[in-house]
């Protein structure tokens, strides 16, 4: 999905940037900390296309068991969540 | 009437609302844009009534003309074949965005429209409108000039640094985020302030903080009481040290909050306030797509029901 604002201020990554800390580090990045995610035990869950929700082995919706705001850190299909999925923004 | 919910399959907050809508007999289609174009088929044609057609998932067919409510929750990016070259990927992604995104954007009944979310996520923009809406906003500076920053901090005295976005980054395999951070006089004029835009804000004494969740004008306030040093600076940094209660929202704040959301074209939002020891409410920020599930859990307020109500209400 796009937004006009995002289009107006493209933030594409330049090539040839490395991932090491440099002497050019912005002031605000000095205060980076590792977040404490709140994982959900989803090992026995699957998406039920009929109910359109995540369910546990017996078909009961996870939402009836676990409450919102407790997202897993890594999606099963390998995509990475945004911070808002890790933190209760 | 059909409600379209754009989110990933692992969004339990959306699950809760989907279950409530289903119990009410409201047709719901849950769709993750990540499934376009490989699992979702778009077929749409423009006519006298605008864009009509269908979105077909492996399990459902959505008639676009039946959509009366759309919830933009936690959709993921389009997922394209891994075999594509970089050029092919960029072409396909851009066309998917303009095509799929353009059709979806044409629908009405959004909570919230992605363009409104995009605009409202700019903190300077939301602070500007918060002032216009009559809310108290702490003294705030945005600059990339270390010298000016030093002078401003010296005049204000007690200052915190706050990122302008919700940055997270990966270094050496670890994820990092930035919370609100008090800064000391030796940091006020740091040359590294010159390397991008930085936001500084007057640090306020807190009696408690408030997360005010708003849905179509209805207010669901939660006072957040911090019981650790870290949580007292930024409650996001230590959830285990928090307790919750339901405060009374002053009418002036409520009026300002509603005016702010009207200005930002948001039907849903989570607003953060500091309540100082003198009882004044100070607006910090608005999260146009903020989480609310844990607030509902801790306070028992029916936010999910309010969202279900809003999604079945025709937008004015």
Domain boundaries, chain B: 2-111, 118-136+204-309, 140-202
Find the angle CA(B162)-CA(B165)-CA(B169) to the nearest 5 degrees. Answer: 100
pLDDT of residue A71: 40
Nearest C-alpha in A relative to B169: A32
Query: For position B63, what pLDDT does the model report?
Result: 97
- CATH number of the domain at B140-202, please? 3.30.1490
B276 burial via Cβ count (<10 Å: 0-12, 13-18, 19+) = middle
Give the C-alpha separation, B76 to B201, whole Å: 33
B242 and B256 in contact (C-beta within 8 Å)?
no
| Residue A70 scores a pLDDT above 70 | no
Asked if the ipTM is above 0.90, the reply is no
- Residues A44-63 have a mean pLDDT of 90
Nearest CA-CA distance, residue A57 and chain B, Å:
15
Subunit contact A62:B168, Cβ cutoff 8 A = no
> Tokens 């906003």 belong to which residue?
B137
CB A89 within 8 A of CB B234: no
Q: What is the C-alpha to C-alpha distance for residues B163 and B279, in angstroms, rounded to an integer?
A: 26
Tell me if B12 and A83 make a contact (CB, 8 A cut-off).
Answer: no
Nearest CB partner across the interface for A89, out of B16, B290, B296: B290
| pLDDT score, position A43 | 60
Three-state SS at B162: strand
Task: Please report the sign of the dihedral spanned by the C-alpha atoms of residue B263, residue B115, residue B72, residue B127.
Answer: negative
Q: Give pLDDT, residue A3.
A: 45
User: Starting at the edge strand that comes first in sequence, how are the strands of the sheet with B218-226 ordered?
Assistant: B242-245, B218-226, B208-215, B268-275, B281-287
Burial label, B45 (beta-carbon count in 10 A; 0-12, 13-18, 19+): exposed
Judging contacts by C-beta atoms under 8 Å, the chain A residues touching residue B237 are: 33
Do residue A40 and residue B171 have CB atoms under 8 angstroms apart? Answer: no
CB-based contact A51 B119, cutoff 8 Å = no
Collect all residues with Cβ–Cβ distance below 8 Å to A58 and sequence separation of at least 6.
none
Residue A3 C-alpha, separation from nearest chain B C-alpha, in angstroms: 5
Interatomic CA distance for residues B152 and B188, integer angstroms: 9
B37, two tokens: 């174009």
Q: Among partner residues B33, B118, B177, which is closest to A6 by beta-carbon distance? A: B118
Which pLDDT score is estimated for A4?
46
Residues of A in contact with B307 (CB under 8 A): none
Fold topology of B118-136+204-309: D-amino Acid Aminotransferase; Chain A, domain 1 (3.30.470)
Give the residue ranges of chain B where pLDDT is below 50.
316
User: Which residue among A2, A54, A67 sits closest to B101, beta carbon to beta carbon?
Assistant: A2
Query: Mean pLDDT across the stretch A12-38?
Result: 79
B15 closest CB neighbour out of A25, A31, A62: A62
Q: Kindly tell me if the per-residue pLDDT of A84 is higher than 80.
A: no
Higher per-residue pLDDT: B194 or A8: B194
């Amino acid at each position: 999905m796009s937004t006009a604002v995002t289009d107006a201020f493209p933030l594409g990554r330049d090539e040839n940037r490395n991932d090491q800390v440099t002497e050019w580090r912005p002031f605000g990045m000095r205060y980076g900390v590792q977040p404490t995610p709140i994982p959900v035990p989803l090992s026995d869950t699957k998406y039920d296309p009929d109910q359109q929700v995540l369910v546990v082995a017996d078909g009961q919706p996870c939402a009836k068991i676990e409450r919102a705001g407790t997202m897993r850190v890594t999606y099963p299909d390998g995509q990475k969540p945004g911070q808002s999925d890790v933190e209760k923004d | 009437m059909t409600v379209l919910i754009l989110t990933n399959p692992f969004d339990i907050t959306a699950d809760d609302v989907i279950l409530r809508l289903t119990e009410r007999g409201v047709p719901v289609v849950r769709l993750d844009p990540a499934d376009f174009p490989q699992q979702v088929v778009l077929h749409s044609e423009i006519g006298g009534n605008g864009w009509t057609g269908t979105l077909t998932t492996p399990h459902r067919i959505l008639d676009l003309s039946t959509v009366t409510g759309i919830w933009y929750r936690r959709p993921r990016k389009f997922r394209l074949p891994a075999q594509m070259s970089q050029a092919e990927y960029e072409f396909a992604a851009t066309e998917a965005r303009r095509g799929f995104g353009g059709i979806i954007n044409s629908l009405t009944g959004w909570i919230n429209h992605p363009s409104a979310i995009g605009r409202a996520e700019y903190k300077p923009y939301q602070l500007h409108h918060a002032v216009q809406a009559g809310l108290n906003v702490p003294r705030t500076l945005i600059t990339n000039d270390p010298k000016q920053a030093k002078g401003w901090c010296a005049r204000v005295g007690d200052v915190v640094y706050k990122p302008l976005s919700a940055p997270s980054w990966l270094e050496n395999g670890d994820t990092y985020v930035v919370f609100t951070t008090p800064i000391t006089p030796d940091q006020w004029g740091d040359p590294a302030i010159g390397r991008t835009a930085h936001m500084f804000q007057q640090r306020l004494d807190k009696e408690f903080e408030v997360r005010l969740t708003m849905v179509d004008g209805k207010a669901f306030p939660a006072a957040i009481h911090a019981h650790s040093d870290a949580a007292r600076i930024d409650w996001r940094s230590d959830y285990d040290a928090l307790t919750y209660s339901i405060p009374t929202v002053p009418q002036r704040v409520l009026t300002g909050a509603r005016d702010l959301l009207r200005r930002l074209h948001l039907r849903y939002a989570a607003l953060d306030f500091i309540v100082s020891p003198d009882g004044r409410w100070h607006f910090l920020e608005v999260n146009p797509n903020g989480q609310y599930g844990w607030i509902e859990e801790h306070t028992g307020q029916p936010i999910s029901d309010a969202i279900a109500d809003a999604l079945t209400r025709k937008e004015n």
